[in-house]
A and B are shown apart, each in its own frame.
Chain A
Amino acid sequence: MTHKESEPVLSVRDLRIGIGKQNAILHGVSFDILPGETYGLVGESGSGKSITGLSVMGLLKRPLQVTGGSILFRGQELLTLNSRARRRLRGDRMAMVFQEPMTALNPLATVGRQIAEMFVIHRGLRWSQARTKAVEALENVRVPSPEERARSYPHQLSGGMRQRVMIAMALACRPDLLIADEPTTALDVTVQAGVLELIAELSQAEGTAVLLVSHDLGVIANMCRRVGVMDQGRLVEEQDTRALFERPLHPYTRGLLAARPRLGSRTLAQRGRLTELDEVVSSDERGRDQPTLVTPRVFSGATP
């Protein structure tokens, strides 16, 4: 923890990702995350927010590769780091929580063992010691009867519990940066709030910076002070969350906000026709063969 308060934990500059050199998917994305800050990346699926998170972790899959730009983590350039050094950072200094808690855990190992592995890899603990630390970690994420739960296998836990396990695992080594990629999307609405609360609380307590990737503006509004809006592989707007909701600058953001169903207007007649994204964003601003957001259309189609 040697960095100064003002210096960003993560500084992404002009990041470019493509399939090979030709097909660019991310066209120069830049943003900073300060220590202890929760930064939101919002956009529809395919906008490039998830691969931004994965590239920071160094987990891009084969045809995808970083083609340019820089990723500074605590002042250190990650893109020129060798794979061994990057691996050491992963899990220890930066950690990630994924969308699908059903498949993100090894089905054949106990939850406790999977958390304990963090301490074995990064702290050099013996398995017996690591196991007690794992139980503590489960207790931290408020899993009831952690002793017993540590001996369970993933399939024996509910989705919300599994995501708590993922969070316990990610935060086990008290990282400086937590990347949460749609952490509540796959969960029941009833447990979403609890999981988000947990992330907020633990990151505040430890001073962990969070990069929260989501398509859900509601989640972003609750969690983040600053938001970046992504569309078609570009960061089209970056604002304070409050300002974004009050005065969206970019037409795409306006469309995204308008597409949200509003609370309060109860009947369909009152609600009127939901905004279609295509009406807001002129067609030359989006790629021709890109899929458009489907949900609003479905809603509007339902009006009599």
Chain B
Amino acid sequence: MKAGGTGVPVAPAFNLVFGERQPSRMMRFILRRTLQMIPTLLVVVLIIFVIFSVVPGSFISSLMSEGRNATNADVMAHLNQQFGLDKPLLVRLWDYLWGLAHFDLGISYRTREPVWNVIEPRLWPSIKLALAAMFFAALVGIPLGFVAALKPGSVIDTGTMMVAISGLSLPEFWFGLLLMYVFALQLGWLPSFGYNADSFQHLILPAIALGVSPMALLARTTRAGVLDVMNADFVRTARAKGVSEPRLVRSHVARNVLVLVLTTLGLQVGSLMGQAIVIEKLFSWPGIGSLLVDSVAARDIPVVQGAVIVIVLWFLVINMLVDVAYAAVDPRIKVT
């Protein structure tokens, strides 16, 4: 989505800066970015709709083959009618979009509940897992990248980079299995799988397994960012001012690096909900991901569509928040 400002009055540059505190401008920015999500979302719905309209076996036929009376054409016709499957594709697409505009995601084939009622209880566990994984990734990855970059070529640096490339190459569900084996089965410190809304312990293993690859990516981006910033002219200026090294890192380098790392951080948080599907399945975590996998297996297409929309929406919302955060951190970025 290009943020090409159309029709926004061009004020003097320094007035547009967020530092001037103009909440109305910020709200307008958020509102516009929200509206910009709609076309992307529409295309996603369209793609998913087209993909599933060519499914060879419909849900009804798979229902039939599951031991029920497959020859009962009456029942089949009735079901088709109930779910609106007898209508032409374009009409169904229109109906679906119409429903979507009213925040109605349709009816689940499997449970016959509104899709939203199926998705809603899965939402919080998914968000919790994504945030916990990101928390772990940032907590470990960013300091690791910093330490590595401050002594380039050192043992710490080389070690960190080895850890990073390994983390990026690790199949996360295998890593999850190993964690499960060591910490749950052998040591018995943590529960091996399952979900408990009140307990923190169930969250630890899946969050670490899911967080390893973003952690590695963050370590790499942070390191590259620090190296970049340390070579910048303004760092030399700060040294010429007599700024001490700790102060230099704290008040000149850190924020500039954060700006560079923010993009990676946002992209990662945004895609974590999608990446989590295998981990959720492995740890029997009742999130959107495992719902998606189960619904695909059962060909419960309304729920699949709903889950994909939620995952994409999460990505888009997080990225919008990152842009907002950018404007708050970097005065060069104009909120228009």
Contacts and interface: CB of A to CB of B under 8 A. Distances in A.
A/B touching: CB–CB < 8 A: yes
B227 to A, nearest CB: 12
B241 A103 contact: no
A89 B241 CA distance: 9
A91 interface: yes
Given A103-B233, A153-B332, A108 B259 contact: yes
Interface residues on B, range: 20 to 34
B121 interface: no
B241 A118 contact: yes
A103 B14 contact: no
A127 to B, nearest CB: 11
A303 B187 CA distance: 85
Is chain B's interface secondary structure helix, strand, loop, or mixed overall? helix
Interface in B187-237: 232-234, 236-237
B243 A104 contact: no
A59 B239 contact: yes
B233 A121 contact: no
B242 interface: yes
Interface stretch (A27-35, A94-102, A276-284): A94-102
Contacts of B232: 103
A78 to B, nearest CB: 14
Given A108-B330, A153-B17, A156-B13, A103 B242 contact: no
Interface residues of A, number: 31
B87 interface: no
Contact of B234 (A88, A104, A153): A104
B242 A106 contact: no
B13 A105 contact: no
B13 A90 contact: no
A105 B234 contact: yes
B51 interface: no
Given A152-B14, A155-B332, A104 B242 contact: no
B242 A89 contact: yes
B252 interface: yes
A112 to B, nearest CB: 12
Contacts of A254: none
B244 interface: yes
Contact of B242 (A100, A107, A121): A121
B229 to A, nearest CB: 10
B256 A107 contact: yes
Contacts of B255: 108
Contacts of B244: 87, 121
Contacts of B156: none
A231 interface: no
B237 A105 contact: yes
B49 to A, nearest CB: 45
A95 B240 contact: yes
A108 B235 CA distance: 12
Contact of A117 (B233, B236, B241, B331): B241
Interface of A: 57, 59, 87-92, 95-96, 98, 100, 103-109, 117-118, 121-122, 151-153, 155-156, 166, 169-170
Interface of B: 13-14, 17, 19, 232-234, 236-244, 247, 251-252, 255-256, 259, 329-332
13 contacts: A89-B242, A90-B241, A104-B233, A104-B237, A106-B256, A107-B330, A108-B331, A109-B251, A109-B252, A121-B242, A155-B331, A156-B14, A169-B241
